Chains A and B, each alone.
Chain A
């Protein structure tokens, strides 16, 4: 491990706030960030589309939103935030050469992702049972398509988390391996971020 990287990690463990003299480093590989910003930009367009189209039909929006299960949405938000908590702690454990702890924490994060999927399954099943489909109206079209695309991110993210759980289990990790874990963790946090905004747009805002 290079001294610069060890120092940066030590700083993360000790300081809660940055200062003028803080060491700065890119978490993960640069390529991960290109992908992350690409994803953020695509989803920004989704958010704007929802706001423009659905905002013009507030009555449709109110009715459709009223039929969504608020508690499923809330539960999934807490699951996403908690999985992010697990991932952040897993990364710390991996850096401090606690491979078994890191592996378990990545595993719990993946488990939160699985629970998110189970909640989603029941939520969608209830929506279909009530006769709502992609063709019902603009609200439901956006709801199914955008939360569907997000759910594909959750699936990919779970595979990444599972791979990281296996990967971090073994011997003490070097800088290159830790960078890979940082990149994977950042991807999962982005999945969390996108859900936070989708949750506000589909479940919470009042028209």
Chain B
């Protein structure tokens, strides 16, 4: 199986996992939402690395992309936690 296929399968599994977090009552809503946001951004990272081939792109571009992910992730999570006080 090619790496692209493995990554696709993991992305679908991650999507189902976050769907379960939305509907399951296993977690408090705060932890569930943080987990959902983090999973979404990890998915974005793998689309960038393996589908957009950033793994083999110049380091500057890769750092810019991963920097964007970390920035968006931390802003969204902190805004959410700030509101959910």
Residues of A within 8 A of B (CB): 8, 11-12, 15-18, 22-27, 33, 37, 40, 44, 47-48, 51-52, 55-56, 58, 70, 74, 77-78, 81-82, 84-85, 87-89, 92, 182, 185-186, 189-190, 192-193, 196-197, 199-201, 203-207
Q: Kindly provide the distance from the CB of A132 to the nearest chain B CB, expressed in whole angstroms.
A: 20
A-B pairs with beta carbons under 8 Å apart, 13 shown: A18-B55, A27-B53, A37-B68, A47-B72, A47-B76, A70-B19, A70-B22, A85-B4, A88-B50, A186-B52, A199-B40, A205-B36, A206-B22
A88 vs B6: C-alpha distance when bound (angstroms): 12
Residues of A within 8 A of B12 (CB): 78, 81
Residues of B within 8 A of A (CB): 2-5, 8, 11-12, 15-16, 18-19, 21-23, 29, 32-33, 36-37, 39-41, 43-44, 47-48, 50-59, 61, 64, 68, 71-72, 75-76, 79-80, 82-84
Of B22, B41, B75, most A-chain CB atoms within 10 Å: B22
Question: With contacts A40-B68, A78-B12 known, is A207 near B57, CB below 8 A?
Answer: no
A-B pairs with lowest CB-CB distance, top 5: A55-B83, A200-B40, A206-B29, A51-B79, A85-B8
Residues of B within 8 A of A205 (CB): 22, 33, 36-37, 80
A24 touches B56 (CB 8 A): yes
Q: Kindly provide the distance from the CB of B67 to the nearest chain A CB, expressed in whole angstroms.
A: 11
Residues of B within 8 A of A40 (CB): 68
Q: Kindly provide the distance from the CB of A131 to the nearest chain B CB, expressed in whole angstroms.
A: 24
Q: Kindly provide the distance from the CB of A196 to the nearest chain B CB, expressed in whole angstroms.
A: 5
Choice from B5, B29, B37, B72 contacting A207 with Cβ under 8 Å: B29
Q: Kindly provide the distance from the CB of B82 to the nearest chain A CB, expressed in whole angstroms.
A: 8
A12 touches B53 (CB 8 A): yes
A56 touches B83 (CB 8 A): yes
Residues of A within 8 A of B71 (CB): 44
Residues of B within 8 A of A197 (CB): 40-41, 44, 72
